[in-house]
Structure 1
């Protein structure tokens, strides 16, 4: 794990460059208030009609649905309040449902390596090793690990290839478009999903719903991201692009 524990200046610069050159990459495929709203059957919720290629009216085709076999979950302000390892009860309940429900594609028995926490704190630098231990201790019964950033790799959004390789090595996926990245930040989580060739889910309110006890004020970057997303979607008519190559590969 290289670099200082807190610096992600290159990530910020990349976000600004992407916003100027490819603004649609900032948009998520699905927006939910918090992680607790994540659908178990995620695939159909990621696709909208405008994502489908145009076809002649005399040759209608069935809408193609992504198959999601792996979840990448952010930690700070998605699963836990920022800079903590405290899971709100509703978040733990949702994680338990995803790992223990017999109908869940992320069931720990049928898909033991289907969920991975990828954080720019825990697992990204030795400074935060205590967070890794605390998270994995609390989630041991659900078999949810924390990703350790390999030596020489960079933080989100630049570690997507290493994350895809983690799932490939465990035979969870064949293609990156079988992964959904879930997080509260457009400039890291959503951008990383696009760079990976995966789908993105934005937890717009963070770890707590609007008005819920414990919810704090958004910081300046979070406020800017909310404004940017609304502007691109409502004023500019932008749509999140599907993962590269997904149309050609088939289901």
Structure 2
């Protein structure tokens, strides 16, 4: 099997380039402490955050994004890192998003509206641990019909596989797999355009940056999976880079006055 692209080095280069040229792409459209605080009517909250970065409401009527697709990170967003353990409050939150009659991600009205996109589970077909993680997550979430995005090896071409990876350059992981994720939703009739997608995750350099590359919206889970819902009191799962991002985000926003970019047409 051909080796996957060296996305770690590529992601680092992209992050540095973005910070120098387009720092607004590094800032999320909405910040919440954890996935538990994700609003069901996410479009309305994105509209409120957008109104502060664009024209004043009295000059331009407020538009509300019509969000139809939810992209979820796994590590430190849904699960403690390197596990497939979804704490019960997080699982309950997923259930509400999939069963609430008013949710845009209701399983009956939008069965393919939620997709887990991870740089571990499903991201390396040549790493059995990541293959097993994707399968385990899908088994746990089968009753909610939540799939895990699979990255294919670069040598793989042709039609999509059973996991439904969209067309495009194979072997791309976050933040480069945005076009493939968009294709996944388009193939299933979930979306027509990128601004109907919101990406939720704990990392600015992967999740938020991928949303910017996609032309979609981003939600940053700043605290990740908190210790209060795990069996390890006092545990902070944020790694070194995640903590650096917290400082960097504050610097860009408060010291530099940088505003989060918005999808095309929402300026």
**TM-score between the two structures when normalised by the length of structure 1:** 0.91
Residues 1:184 and 2:202 aligned together: yes
Pairing 1:10–2:28 present: no
For residue 239 of structure 1, what is the aligned residue in structure 2? 259
Residues 3, 111 of structure 1: alpha-carbon distance in 2 compared, 3 angstrom cutoff: same
Shift in CA distance, 111/165, structure 1 to aligned 2, threshold 3 Å: same
1:18-73 C-alpha deviation (Å, 9 max, x unpaired): 11211111100000000010000001211332333369x6xx43211111000000
Backbone CA RMSD of aligned residues = 2.1
CA distance in 2, matches of 1:157, 1:243: 16
In the TM superposition, residue 8 of structure 1 has moved relative to its aligned partner by 1.6
| Preserved contact between residue 27 and residue 229 of structure 1 (Cα < 8 Å) | yes
Residue 50 (structure 1) aligns with: 52
Which of the numbers 244, 253, 261 marks the counterpart of 1:224?
A: 244
Are the equivalent residues in 1 in contact too, given 2:71–2:116 (CA < 8 A)? yes
- Report what 1:158 is aligned to: 176
When the two structures are superposed, what TM-score results if normalisation uses the length of structure 2?
Answer: 0.85
Q: Counterpart of 2:109? A: 110
Q: Is the 8 A contact 1:33 1:209 kept in 2?
A: no
Residue 100 of structure 1 corresponds to 99
- Residue by residue over 1:178-218, the C-alpha shift from the partner in whole angstroms, topping out at 9 and shown as x without a partner, is 00000000000000000000000000001116897363253
SS at match of 1:112: coil
Question: Deviation per CA, 1:67-111, whole angstroms, max 9, x where unpaired?
Answer: 100000000110001010000111100000000111111000000
CA offset at residue 177 of structure 1? 0.2
1:32-71 residue pairs with structure 2 within 5 A?
32-47=32-47, 48=49, 49-53=51-55, 60-71=59-70
Q: Which residue of 166, 170, 174 maps to 2:192?
A: 174
Single out whichever of 225-234 and 44-53 deviates more from structure 2.
44-53
Give ranges in structure 2 of 5+ residues lacking alignment: 155-169
Task: Count residues in correspondence.
Answer: 244
Gaps of 5+ in 1: none
- CA distance in structure 2 between the partners assigned to 1:6 and 1:82 by the alignment: 21
C-alpha distance in structure 2 between counterparts of 1:5 and 1:84, whole Å: 24
Distance in 2 separating the partners of 1:51 and 1:134: 41
Aligned match of 2:27: 27
Q: Secondary structure at the match of 1:12?
A: helix
